Structure 1
């Protein structure tokens, strides 16, 4: 059994992870959180104290860390005695934290792929550019590395595995739909790191269709979806991490990711992109200063964590999974509905952070108790889905499935 957790990062998702780890510290043991700015870690620990989230008395300490420094991260892992690292820092640090975990032999969990700051939308499959290159090494050293254990990627991957295991003989199509029907009340803001958010939508939109990669532009392909609770919503074919692992594990299926956007977001995004303000490449100002336009935009937008107190409404994220069962075509819809206000009241974060953070802690609990401590690298769909989804339901993110017969039942 693995115990003691080191959380990397101090943003909105880390806030959720910290609270949820505290709620289960009887299993997870000593807790530590590290970021470049220790003060942000201290604030998160203070919020855990204010909510009295610690299930049993125990350690929760903060640390200053540059997570791109593999040696420093490995030293902190050893110093804290961590058996599990939950990496919810910037996507730019993933490969370094993974290397530190491999060096020290501890379990690694993240919620998104690694990205390089000066590159956008590299060639698919994205996991093949960095993480999967370490698969053999993880297996050789017996290191458990769970990739993409947030909601999307993460829970939506488990939804595909669940549908395949329990309702289908073969999978022919996977459509992942992510709708945020909430409102933060600001003129314009992103729900997570603006730099990472915009990078997702400025490159090529890759989907896996007809056994090959299809390329589209962002907002080129839209479709209306009728979903539980949030109703009819417009969503656009978008590029996303989970498409790149699901296409490898279900190569005979079409795999698409759809994200909901309002007209206002699209208009602002289009203006920023047209002006060149979403570029990741440096430019020089008239004063001779070198700046990255995307980082300037990030600096002037609200911190996503600051949106939480005023956020209202709900999210609905789920998978339409089609396939064959007993010789006939069937479809299931596996989904979750989360509430922004309820998330804030529980952990002091908005619903987008909540849906990303809770699954990472569920994964840590699955590793700690052995079910997912597989001594190799794995994407979520490669692991048993039902126990993961059942645990998620117990700790705050219940899932439901609309069966081929039309029943809407809890998992």
Structure 2
């Protein structure tokens, strides 16, 4: 049994994590949140208190920490008595936070793959460049480290495992489809950190097909998916974290990730890229000022957290898994529908943050009660998906399935 949670980060996803941890603090114990800026952590706690989210009276404290400093994070873990760390800070800090967890012997959770700020789109499989190199040390230390336990990656990995275990005898392909059919009313914005968002789309698009890595350019390959609730949506083959672990778990299957984009986003992105404004290499202005173009773009765009009050519409994220069942071709679509307005009313964050922030709390609860406290490093598809998806059903992210038998809620 593990108790006491330290949340790293204080953005929109962290706010959802904080609210959901508060709603389960009778099982999770003392709560702590830390980032470079103490005021942001205090604002998250004020939001939790303002909505009366704490299930029982208890500790929820704010701290300032440089998450790039392993020693500082380790000291904070010891000072707070945290036994579970939920890292929802920038993906640049993943390895320093993980190292602190290995050093202190506490459980580690994150929602996205590690990135080196000096590199874009490294050689696949991406997890092999950083996280998986620490598997042996986690096992030796008995540290549970669950990688990429947001929605995508995370819940979609569990959907793939569920399809393979319960719905198909053989899996031929896994197509993960992420559609945001919502609107925030701004002329242009990204739904999460612009720097991470744009980095994700400027590199090579890797997919796993026919047993090898396939390379494409962003927006090169697109198709229309007819989905429940949100209807027909254009999505593009995109590089993404879960492809790099699911391809190892299901090497005989094609694994692809598709993300929905409107023409307006693509046009703005293309102009910014062609003008060099998505570059991370510094330039010097006529006044002698050194500026990193990507950081300037980030500075002038709306803060993603500011989008939440005006966001309306829904998201649809799920897995189309094809293969063979009882000797015949079969297909299942396992998915979730989330609502931006409902997410904001509950947690003060929009639906993108909600879908990313709720799953690590469910995972923390499974670590707390021992179900997922496995004492080693894993990706979500390495674990039994049913306890996880069952918790999500009751916490705000219900799972549905569409197959030959129709469209229905999936209950365990």
Interval containing the TM-score (normalised by the shorter chain) = over 0.9
CA contact (8 A) 1:25 1:56 kept: yes
- Structure 2 match to 1:113: 113
CA contact (8 A) 1:307 1:350 kept: yes
Give 3-state SS (helix, strand or coil) of 1:124's partner.
coil
- Structure 1 match to 2:315: 315
Deviation per residue, 1:74-97 (Å, 9 max, x gap):
000000000000000000000000
Query: How many Å separate the matches in 2 of 1:96 and 1:247?
Result: 26
- Structure 1 match to 2:261: 261
Query: How many Å separate the matches in 1 of 2:358 and 2:283?
Result: 39
- Structure 1 match to 2:32: 32
Correspondence 1:137 to 2:147: no
- Structure 1 match to 2:333: 333
Query: How many Å separate the matches in 1 of 2:405 and 2:54?
Result: 43
- Structure 1 match to 2:98: 98
**Shift, 1:280, TM fit:** 1.6
**Shift, 1:165, TM fit:** 1.1
CA contact (8 A) 1:35 1:66 kept: yes
Deviation per residue, 1:351-396 (Å, 9 max, x gap):
0000000001001011111111000000001100011001001111
Unaligned runs of 5+ in 2: none
Give 3-state SS (helix, strand or coil) of 2:267's partner.
helix
Correspondence 1:280 to 2:280: yes
CA contact (8 A) 1:119 1:280 kept: no
CA contact (8 A) 1:343 1:350 kept: yes
Correspondence 1:401 to 2:401: yes
Give 3-state SS (helix, strand or coil) of 1:336's partner.
strand
Query: How many Å separate the matches in 1 of 2:166 and 2:403?
Result: 10
- Structure 2 match to 1:377: 377
Give 3-state SS (helix, strand or coil) of 1:241's partner.
coil
CA contact (8 A) 1:118 1:281 kept: no
Correspondence 1:197 to 2:193: no
Give 3-state SS (helix, strand or coil) of 2:242's partner.
helix
Query: How many Å separate the matches in 1 of 2:130 and 2:302?
Result: 31
Query: How many Å separate the matches in 2 of 1:187 and 1:34?
Result: 32
4+ long deviations beyond 6 Å: none
Unaligned runs of 5+ in 1: none
**Shift, 1:329, TM fit:** 1.6
Instruction: Please list, as runs of the form range in 1=range in 2, the aligned pairs for 1:337-348 lying within 5 A after superposition.
Output: 337-348=337-348
Query: How many Å separate the matches in 2 of 1:381 and 1:284?
Result: 46
- Structure 2 match to 1:232: 232
Correspondence 1:169 to 2:179: no
Residue range with higher mean Cα deviation, 325-334 or 250-259:
325-334
Instruction: Please list, as runs of the form range in 1=range in 2, the aligned pairs for 1:36-185 lying within 5 A after superposition.
Output: 36-185=36-185
Query: How many Å separate the matches in 1 of 2:41 and 2:151?
Result: 23
Deviation per residue, 1:173-226 (Å, 9 max, x gap):
000000000000000000000000001100000000000000000000000000
**Shift, 1:291, TM fit:** 1.9
**Shift, 1:405, TM fit:** 3.0
CA contact (8 A) 2:400 2:407 kept: no
**Shift, 1:407, TM fit:** 4.1
Query: How many Å separate the matches in 2 of 1:406 and 1:281?
Result: 51
Task: Using structure 2 for the length normalisation, give the TM-score.
Answer: 0.99
Query: How many Å separate the matches in 2 of 1:160 and 1:75?
Result: 38
Query: How many Å separate the matches in 2 of 1:369 and 1:143?
Result: 15
**Shift, 1:286, TM fit:** 2.2
Deviation per residue, 1:29-72 (Å, 9 max, x gap):
00000000000000000000000000000000000000010000
**Shift, 1:408, TM fit:** 2.7
- Structure 2 match to 1:367: 367
Aligned length: 411
Task: Using structure 1 for the length normalisation, give the TM-score.
Answer: 0.99
**Shift, 1:403, TM fit:** 2.7
Query: How many Å separate the matches in 1 of 2:53 and 2:409?
Result: 30
Deviation per residue, 1:112-139 (Å, 9 max, x gap):
0000112111110011110000001101
Query: How many Å separate the matches in 2 of 1:386 and 1:322?
Result: 20
Query: How many Å separate the matches in 1 of 2:217 and 2:355?
Result: 27
Query: How many Å separate the matches in 2 of 1:350 and 1:26?
Result: 26
Compute the RMSD of aligned alpha carbons: 0.7
